Amino acid sequence: MWSKKELIDKQTRFWVLMAGGSTLTGASETVGVSRATGRKWRQATGGRIPRKRPEPSGRYLSLEERLQIADLHLGGAGVRAIAVEIGRTPSTVSRELRRNGSAPSAWRAGKYAPLRRRSKPSCGAGGPRPASSTTSNWRAWCNQSCV
């Protein structure tokens, strides 16, 4: 039996050979696995050669950066100080705090929640409409689906 690292290495070489135009049997024999194993690998991807996932571009804030913003914000640091600390522009930090913070009121400051999810859609959104569009049927359907 192969170790996890050896198996990943064999699969990588298998897919390089398959991308180069090798047959299933040829790629399997070259890598050192049975034809059945090569066939399982190919079936697991739907017959397509798996693409490499691109590295994160830095366009979006990572979870680590969001948590760091939350810690610094709770510590009382300003937007510019947070921006310098995480290596982003102040506008990015300000936007993040505004989008994921609760609305501030007169007696409390807005709280930043880095893991906050968007609110659920309203009752009428997100589902198929009933065949009959009469008001009574619509209300009944809406009350039933939003419960």
Q: Per-residue pLDDT tens for 51-106?
A: 877 777 788 888 889 999 989 998 889 999 999 999 999 999 999 888 887 656 55
Place of tokens 């930043």: 112
pTM: 0.42
Would the pLDDT of 41 be above 70? yes
Burial class (CB in 10 A: 0-12, 13-18, 19+), 68: middle
Residue 40: per-residue pLDDT: 94
Q: Is 76 helix (H, G, I), strand (E, B) or coil?
A: coil
| Separation CA 73–CA 111 (nearest Å) | 9
